[in-house]
Amino acid sequence: MNTIMRRSALGIAGLAFGAGVMASPQTFDTTTATTPAPATSADATASAAAVPVEKPDMDTLIPHGTQGAQSRIDLGDEQTGNVKAIIEATKQAEMGERAAVVAIATSLQESKLENLGHLGARNDHDSQGLFQQRPSSGWGTVEQITDPEYSTTAFLDGLKQVDGWQEMPLTEAAQTVQVSAYPFHYAQWETQAADLVAEHWTS
């Protein structure tokens, strides 16, 4: 047998050997094998929902204690909606629960959490909105300061400029922003404001 014929014979033998090796492949039962389903956003939401979110505690909400007698009013749906708007704007401003307490207490004093328009003869100059902000003092246009998100953000921007506001009694922090003729009136709303933040911060 010449060289070419020998190589051909070896090649054929190799193919036959290879075929023999592959003649008994490992088999799988495709009727029972399953492929894990990819995780979905619904799965992630369900997983997150399984972890309870704790409400803010009172040591966080009222770190310095309250000053003076406390007041409380019943809230309607519109007022509760404004509470939620203040809380959402506070989160968007990346400020914590204590800032929301200061903002809500301020609005309770200024407007009882009602988004007030111009009150005519009863109006304090041109003050309007949740925080009774004045267009003539540079807080924004009437349309802006009667928008709960805008007015809250404007208030919080002012609060950020108060050096050490976190360590101040609520009424002092609020008054530094608002410059009210009645600087100690904010203090009376601290407990209700804290209760509202505790109730709605995680809702």
pLDDT tens digits, 30-62: 454 555 556 555 555 554 455 566 788 899 999
Predicted pLDDT at 101 = 98
Residue 199 corresponds to which tokens in the numbers above? Answer: 């109730």
Helix, strand or coil, per DSSP, at residue 202 = coil
* C-beta atoms surrounding 56 within 10 Å: 18
* Percent of residues, the chain, with pLDDT higher than 90: 60
Task: Work out the average pLDDT over 120-127.
Answer: 61
Quick one: pLDDT band at residue 25, thresholds 50, 70, 90? Answer: very low
Predicted pLDDT at 55 = 84
User: For the CA atoms of 154, 156, 162, 167, what is the dihedral angle to 10 degrees?
Assistant: 160
Taking CB atoms within 8 Å and a gap of at least 24, the contacts of 111-116 are 112/73, 112/79, 113/75, 113/79, 113/82, 113/83, 114/78, 114/79, 114/82, 115/78, 115/82, 115/146, 115/148, 116/146
The most confident of 1-15, 20-34, 163-177, by mean pLDDT: 163-177
Residue extents of the structural domains in the chain: 53-200
pLDDT for residue 8 is more than 90: no
Predicted pLDDT at 35 = 52
Predicted pLDDT at 181 = 85
**CA distances from residue 76 to 8, 9, 80, 81, 107 in whole angstroms, order as listed:** 95, 96, 6, 9, 15
Predicted pLDDT at 36 = 53
* Percent of residues, the chain, with pLDDT higher than 70: 69
